[in-house]
Amino acid sequence: MSQEKRVIVALSGGVDSAVAALLLRDAGYNVECLHMTNWEDDGYCESAADFQDARRVARQLGLPLHRVNFSAEYAGQVFAEFLTESRAGRTPNPDVLCNREIKFGTMRRHAARLGADYLATGHYARLCAVDGQAQLMKGTDSSKDQSYFLHAVSATAFEGVLFPLGAMLKSDVRRHARAAGLANAEKKDSTGICFIGERRFREFLARYLPVETGPMKEPGGRVVGEHQGLAFYTLGQRQGLAVGGLSGFGPEPWYVAGKDPETNTLTVVQGAGHPMLSQNWLAAEAAHWINEPPGAWQNGAALRCRAKTRYRQTEQPCSVLRTGSTSLEVLFEAPQRALTPGQFVVFYQGERCLGGAKIVAAEMRDLALEAAG
């Protein structure tokens, strides 16, 4: 690879982006690194530690490191939406917005200003060109595939993007890091909110949203406890409910099954197999297709594909029907657990990620009646 091809690698401080920089350097690219600070609202020390890790890696690899602060952009384009969705009782996914608005929006434009021919990240996903357009494909490591979080990025924003880890297993990434003696070779993967870090979620969110307590009821209407605010709970949640030992109820654990913002009521049910925890139909809005919308969806016919509604889920067979210019509904062949408004349903055909939409409602429907209708 010609030394004239300049690559800016988004160097987070984690092992994945470090190995991405290592591989591109060894492949002969002219590599420079870019570390973003996107959160500094409360002086949380994790971002400072990440920068120090990124600086050590860049020094080890002999690569220049740029540092940039996108905190204002993150606050306005990602965190503000996160709070709006939370206030409405939904469960947002800020990682999806962060990828669209910051990593492949603001950061991509900044890399271009630095003269980059390519932008590279440590995502576990692949890109392939078809008819001159980038198509997003799942990462080879199914346990790390991040196409779910990338579904809202457009094909044009993927132009000039490299995913060096897309065809690799995580174990191979660790092996490369150890062999190169990278300082962060054993650093654990981040599982917190994008750029905000790992927190006690309820305590963190309470700094930005008022604590509005309300009744916690079982489906029959009996109050079984008090919730601390609908924003602090998600459908299917078991931990943190503080319900138990009630007369007239068995020993099975309780789960969140519904949220009603109008009455500020949290509905809880007993048992992981309770029917209220499963739905086979959802409505979604703000549909985004990475490339051209599938022909069936454009023509008003049912699109047969697979979809998942959570990152760690295996794609499930479904039918997708267009209900408006950017709205749709999805009918799954089998019931799905805790379909959650605010989260995203993401569509796949084989290895290819087609795009996705934000869930706004879900319920269990009678498939026989659907077929008859």
Active site residues: 98, 194
**Alpha-carbon gap, residue 56 to 63, rounded angstroms:** 10
What backbone phi and psi angles, to 5 degrees, belong to 61? -85, -5
**Alpha-carbon gap, residue 17 to 15, rounded angstroms:** 6
Structure tokens at 86: 């939370």
SS3 state of residue 57: helix
The answer to whether 96 and 108 are in contact (CB under 8 A) is no
Cα atoms in the 13 Å half-sphere on the side-chain side of 314 = 2
**Alpha-carbon gap, residue 126 to 145, rounded angstroms:** 9
Structure tokens at 372: 């008859």
Please report, for residues 229, 272, 301, 368, the alpha-carbon distance to residue 103 in angstroms, rounded to integers and kept in the order given.
32, 37, 34, 44
Partners of 267 in the beta sheet? 217, 258
Within 10 Å of residue 371's Cβ, how many Cβ atoms?
A: 7
Q: What is the dihedral of CA 77, 81, 82, 88, to 10 degrees?
A: 180
**Alpha-carbon gap, residue 373 to 370, rounded angstroms:** 5
